[in-house]
Amino acid sequence: MTTATSSRLLSPKDVCEMVPGLTVKNLAQMRYLRRGPKFYKPTPRLVTYREDDVLAWIEASAQDTTP
């Protein structure tokens, strides 16, 4: 049996407030390029993100050196 995780749904604006310097336009471009956090599109005009997915995406970007 799997347990459902309850995660708050975020708008693109909410995601941008979590990530300094990220704009709604940049986030839309990342969706188009298939980069960035996993997103959901329940209707043709509505884009949402699960808070857990956004936090996982941020964690995955951790670096310990600069290129």
Question: Does a structural domain hold residue 66?
Answer: no
Closest by CA to 10, choosing from 65, 58, 43, 53, is 53
Question: Does a structural domain hold residue 27?
Answer: yes
The model carries a pTM of 0.83
> Domain count of the chain?
1
Question: Does a structural domain hold residue 43?
Answer: yes
List, for residues 30-57, the tens digit of each pLDDT value. Answer: 999 999 999 999 999 999 999 999 999 9
Strand order in the sheet with 9-10: 9-10, 46-50, 40-43
Beta bridge partners of 50: 9
Rounded CA separation 17/1 (Å) = 35
Question: Does a structural domain hold residue 54?
Answer: yes
First vs last C-alpha separation in the chain: 43
Domain around 16: 9-60
Mean pLDDT confidence for 8-12: 97
